[in-house]
Structure 1
Amino acid sequence: MFRFLKRVFKREPVSEAPVVTESVKAEQADRAEQQRQARQAALEQAIALAHDETAATAFILQSDYPDARRQAAQHLHSRACLEQVLQAMRNTDRRVARLMQQRLDALDQEEKRAAQADDAIAQAERLVQLPLLMVNQVTELDHAWRRIGDAPAPQRERFDASREQLRQRLQAQTELQRALLDAGTALTRLIEAAPAMPAAEASQQLETLEASIATHLASPEAGSLPKARVQAVQEQAAQLKAQLGKQLAAQAQREEALQARLAALDAWEAQAGQDAAQLDDAALRVTWQSLPGVSDAPELDQRFDALAATVRAARRPAEAERPAPASMKTPAPAPVSAQDQAEARAAMDAALGAMESALEEGSLQAAAEQDRALRAMDFKTMRPGEEALSRLSRLRAELARLQGWARWGGNVSREELLKAAQDLATQEMAVAERATKVGSLRERWKSLDASAGPASRDAWLRFDAACTEAYAPVAEHFRQLAEERRQNLDHAAALTAEVSAHAESLGLEGEPSAVDWKGVAAYVSRATQSWQKLGPIERRERKAAEAAFGAALDLLRKPLAAQQQREVARRESLIAEVEALDAGAPRVTDTLKAIQERWQEQARALPLSRADEQALWQRFRHACDALFAERKESARTLDAERQQHLERRQALCATLEAAVDAPVATLGQLLRDSAAAWREIGPVPRAAQQQIDDRYDAATAALRQRVDQARQAAADAQAALLQQKFALCRQAEQALVDGALDDARREALQEAWRALPALGGGNERIMAARFEAAIAGTDAGRDALHRNRDLVMEEILQMEIRLGVESPPELSQERLKQQIQVLQSSLRSGQRPVEPQQMLMQLCAQPALLDDAAAARVERLIRQAQS
């Protein structure tokens, strides 16, 4: 009926359904074959364009076959063709456009890798040319190259060549550093072994090592050597060279002293051979002690002692025979007791032992003190023996020799200190290092006064002037520091005044909400940082300056601290709000987000101290995390429930799928029960929602299809049965009109009627009444057949209108009138529409004499009503 209303209001022409003939089917088959052949030809043409990108591009742009376009697109690789096809196929063929985009992306990646490879190669070539190559530079280069991935072969060859050069340079650096370490080790061993070696041999080895070190330092990779290690090796070499120089000088002096003593001994022994009495042993001893000493030649001292004994023995007879003048006579000494003599000899032996020990240890000062103690002793009272006097003479000679050496060494050391002080004045170094070195030089000069005797005044004045000149930059530095401290004190006072003025200008005693506390906190931070950046101040003035600045800063810090405490309370309230939230509330995440935004606003408005901010933030974040954890746990529980619901729905789907072969009579109840059960089951996981719904829909659709098929089969059977009984009624009524309804004919019709099953839905009684009326063969029944014909034809036309069944063309005018009447009747209020099945049975129940055309129209209506 709705299709009819649509045609009425749109004035659609009534057209017959097209009839597909065999010729049309053949034409369609030919057309399909032609299209298949054209598509195959296009594919073959696309395959033939394998090496011509320009032709392949033109083919894609004009081809109407997607498969052929995709085949031709496989041959495109240049950027211009890819971009042209992508632009043309973007909205036409997505597969081709996607392939073009993928290849363009691959080209971009290749170009990017090539550019990165070029950068890495350029970096490698730059590193090759660098005078100083670091290992970390090569490591970073290797990392960059590995990130590139698979680079083109030419670039890889260039990089490998540069990398091999870098490897060789690193290898050379490693070998050079190892050689320098070996040289340093050899120097250390030579320094340790030099005292026991001949100076010439040690000097020769030192020259060899110095030449080796010079070769290392002249290497192209010498810049990679650690400067501290190079300096240490050079200092070791210089130290050893100075040590060997001193050793050689000492050997030369020893040779000179040895030659001088040998010459003196030879001359004295020759004179003693002629006339020993002419020599004076005391004068000889003084002369012998004044000569440079030789510590490792005791045979010389023995020769001198023998010479002195010979001289004394030769002089005794002469002195005994010569009378002493009266003026030279001395009174006899007072007698000394044996005990006193023993004590004096013991004191002399102890002093001699102490002096000998001091000389062996090299302590000249202690040995000199013992010599002074011995000189203060009265040898006449103790009468020492020849052995003690010889021992004393030998020790004094050794003391004189060592003192001579000490004076000489002290003068040499002072000259070195003077040269070092003079060189220090021209060297560039840190102030602290310069002050330390000047102080060290002065201390060493003082130590020489104690060990080598006092220096001359001229030497001291020269050394003091050199140290003063070397110390001048330190003095200037200290003067500048004092000036900076004074300026820093002025800056501190200015900063204190500025803080005080700023605190007064803010008016922090007023309404707190009107103060920009964030600006106050920032100003306090800046002022504190400015104070911390101030340079040093004199210690006696710094305490007062710090107290004044702290008092000025408290004008800001105390109100700020009070406001921060209020801010802490507000943050605490936000934490309490988060802790009070219900994790299961519908929009709790929006609420939490709003609280977090408020937290951020408050944090931006007034920052707290780092400790308070961190502690409050940790608590706030913990509260948020706890809420999310609770929601996560709730979501986990809901997920478990959804999983259970999914399993129940899967079981229900399995039941429906298994019922495909069940009796059709049970399917309706099964569908109703399953629909109720499906609605009772809760939600399932979102990821499985669509899949399980599709499965359920497919299972129910399959069952409904079986039910619909069974219902349609039953409806078709009822329609066929109704047509058969309608035809029997027409045969009986036609026989009645023709007068051919005899007993045999009546019996045959009744037998045919009984052979058919009964109609359902109460329709059997209606059709049986019409059939019985026709079989009865009364005149009233015959008259009714003629009388009802026009009424039945009108009902046929109305039912065709209501069911949307086409009517014969000659009835088009009448059908149009009836359509208007049907439309008007359907628009009347309060009138229920008549069901098509009811109208059909009313039509079939009317006995009427119908021709074959009318009967065919009724049968078509029966089929349409049952469909």
Structure 2
Amino acid sequence: MFPFSSRNKMSDAPEAAPTPAKASEPHPLDALTGGAFSAATSGERASRIREWLASQPAPEQLQEVFKELSARDKGAARAVRERLDEIKRMQGQEAIAAEWADKASKLLAATRLSIADALAWQRDAAKAGAPLSREPLSLLKTQIADRVKVIEDLQHRVQVQRETAVLLAQRIEVLSTKSFRDAEAALEGLTTDVGRWQEHAGELTSDTSWASVEARFPPMLESSGTQLLAVWDAFQSALKQTVAAAASAEAPLPPVPVWADEIRAARGLPTEAETAAKAAKVAQEAAKPKVDPEVRKKAQAAVREALAKLETETKEGHGKASIGAAAALRAVLKTHGRHVEGELEQQVNAALIAAGELEGWQRWSADQVREDLVNRAEALLKRPEGQELGGRKMQETLRQLREQWKQSDQGAPANHALWKRFDEACNTAHKVVEGWLDKVRAEAAEHKGARVALIDELKAWAQEHAASQDWKALSRGLHQFSERWRNGGHVSEKVFAELQPLWKQTLAEASKPLETAQKLSLDRRQAMINESAELSAQVPLRIDAVKALQQRWQAEAQAVPLDRKREQKLWDAFRKPIDDAFQRKSADRDRQTAQVSARDKAVLDAAKALEVANATGDAQAIRTAIETLEAAIRQQSAEASAASAASAEPAPAAALDAGAAEAADSETVAPEDGEAKPVAAKPARPVIAVRGDDRPGANKPAPAAQGAAARGPRQGDRNDRGGRGDRGGDRTGGRGEGRFGRDGRDGRDRGDAPRAPRLGDSAFRAQRDAMDHAQNALRKLAAQAHGETLTRLLSAWEGRDAEKLPTVQELGRVQPAVRAAWAQALGGGAKPVDGNALLRLEIAADVPTPADQLTARRAYQLQLLTRRNDPSPQETWGKDVASVLSAASDEATARRLQNALKVLLKK
């Protein structure tokens, strides 16, 4: 109508034409990234970038988006940069993996694989950053490790074969020192062992990985075989010749000295030793011939060579090597010793002495270790009672001791005496192991028999229950069989490998009916899951159909058992749609009740104020807050009454409800004109004294209830919930009817007033909880005040000090005249205790009497029955208290008075 202009009225400059707003053009990459470039905030851009990255875009697109986005928002571009770095890192690792995979393939394809090259490949690949934990490098690493393991195993077996060849040669040499009859008896066993050694050696050389073993192992195996075969051939030839010489006197003697002497002895000829002794004697008698200088020179050269080797081994501390070098020097001296003279002979003696000292030190050091091992082996049999080693522990200990003995033998000469003690101790201790092994074998046999019997029992059980439809019993039985098999005891691996397939087959056959039923049950449950989803999607939700479906599910679950985890997953899938539907329903209800009306807010505020007053512990503040809350509720009722008066006449149904309420009222009568008039209730005849049942555990009438019934209802009386009745006489303490109506809400169920509007759930619960908490707080405060008052009363009686007597307000129901009588009783002199006064107090309070006074109480109750016109103990208990207070205080009387006053002061 009147457009406003920003141009100055006094200015002569023409008004500038408005410039139209330029529409922002979308970024070319906005469609690719899902609107990341057009997002208003950095958080939105980062979120859309993450969503776009989840679609796995191409590297070219990533590079383009990063280039444009890094200039606008570095925070949102960080995710793109990390993806680019990851792609670059993955490409680099793939290239490295391909390079090292090619190297590994070449290593595996080579005819000869070096262990050093294999280990270097793995080390260098790890240094280069190759992904050894991913394929194909992980598989290649495993293949190389397996290949290296095979090669190492071959090398180890070569060493074992070499030691075996040495031991066989030693056996043959030992036999050459015994009778040829012993050698002839051991020939068959030696033949078998030598043949087996040759077979094992052939297996080693024919292995595909033999070319990859280290260069020192093939000559080692070859030399061992050559030496063993040479010794074996010589042994066989000498033994054959010895057998022939023993059979024929004309046959030549064997080259073995022991066997030759045995043949000579059998033929009655002198032995070689005797012949040698005669020859030596002849040589000694003969004059020594002159030695040729060349022979002397050669002899000294041989001795010097052996001496140099011994000195070298002695300086380096090689025990076994020095022993061998000393033996070699002595052998040379036997041959050329007669040609050694002077300084060279002294050097030889010094070297032999030094070698002997080294040998002795090494022997002493090794003997110290051996003695410790012997002591440990002997201590195994001397352990105190209760600390003996078990079979397995003893076996492991003996194995460790023997391994340590072998290690001690490798660095020093053997000690046969210590070895004998050690071996005897180990053999004695091994009896424990043998007993344990026998027990283990017996238990294994027993366990095997039990498992076989269990398999037969399962077969019989399966045939017996083949037609059963009790799937829970079948599942329980199969589970019990499985537990028994699992707890069937230990058996050897071989036996277990034999029995396990048979057990699995038998268990599978016995489980076929149950598995079939479970498969059908799965189909039915899946159908119910689909039905649950359909029901939960219906609006409104059919509660009856949901309950029927849940009952069907429970019946199916109880009929056919499934695996616990699987059954739980199915139940979760079945329950989820229904729970979601109920949550939607609850959410709708919460949204409706979230809108708190003005009257609900007033009740909520009053309830909160009452809760605050409850926390203070002030009785007056709590009562004030209760009155405020009741006023808020009455204000709602008044508003409802006003609204009802302004509305039309009530419906017939409301009139019927009002008439029913009036008919149910026991204190009103409806005459013909429809006007309700109160009718006075007929007072009940008071009971002066009755014969009570004072036995322990007997039901006793509540004196407070009888008194209330006798005198009728009174304004301000406490109701059954601990609160006082409405001052208007129209309120009860029940939860069902009374203050909040029959429906438990805030409506009054009276015939002369309309029902007030219902409170919301939150307001109703808040006022109900606040009122309950208030009543509990008042009861606690009253009980606390009552206990303190009673304690002060007893203290005043004990000290006979009327000044300490509680006031009338503190005593509660006690009249001023009664308190004055109590003070007068305390101020006078002490009198004897009136037993009847204590009995009347206990009868009035209906509390137990001590056991020694029960007879007196019963007699006094009989007296009261004869005194019909006398006042009852409930009416004279104040005077009875004064009578008791006039007497001296003692512990028993104080306890009886306290028990009675606990009840009487509360009435």
Same fold (TM over 0.5): no
Rg: which structure is higher?
Answer: 1
